[in-house]
Amino acid sequence: MRLNSFAAEKRKTLFEQLSTGHAPSEGQFDLDVLKEGRAKGQVQMGSTRYEPHSIVFEFIYPDPHGVATILPLRVPAPERIVFMPVPGWVLQAIWQGEVSGSYEFETDAMKMLDEFRLSLEPGINENVAREPAPTGRA
């Protein structure tokens, strides 16, 4: 399973647990922050951050009369997470926004690099060069 799918599945499961009043079934979090958040009302999904060995999900407990409470929940990753930057030698033509790279599990990153190396081989590279340029990134 790729990193984005893994993270989405975990985030959904943890959100459902928090939404129904249960404590998260996995990960590290501050119980006092969870109690403070629950006192404010219903939970909302926040951002997701990637670290080399974990994924940090943030869940937000809004407070219409004060400051929202943010519950960071750190879940261990099944393998190392790496950031794959867009190399400086890649010319980019992007209509809006910037593309800086993506986070991937290490094994998936290595597979992508192997695929890229293979695409440089004679014959294969000539066929790739004839293909029309993509209109977006997958």
For residue 113, the model assigns a pLDDT of: 92
Is the pTM higher than 0.85? The answer reads: no
Helix (H, G, I), strand (E, B) or coil at 61: strand
| 115 within 8 A of 107, measured Cβ to Cβ | no
State how far the Cα of 81 lies from the Cα of 3, in Å rounded to an integer. 8
- Percent of the chain whose predicted confidence (pLDDT) is above 90: 67
Q: Which of 8-12, 38-42, 82-86 is most confident?
A: 8-12
What ranges do the domains of the chain cover? 3-76, 81-130
β-partners of residue 71 are: 59
| Residue 86 vs residue 113, higher pLDDT | 113
State how far the Cα of 70 lies from the Cα of 57, in Å rounded to an integer. 10
| Residue 88 vs residue 3, higher pLDDT | 3
Give 100-122 pLDDT, tens digit per residue.
Answer: 788 999 999 999 999 988 888 88
State how far the Cα of 71 lies from the Cα of 43, in Å rounded to an integer. 10
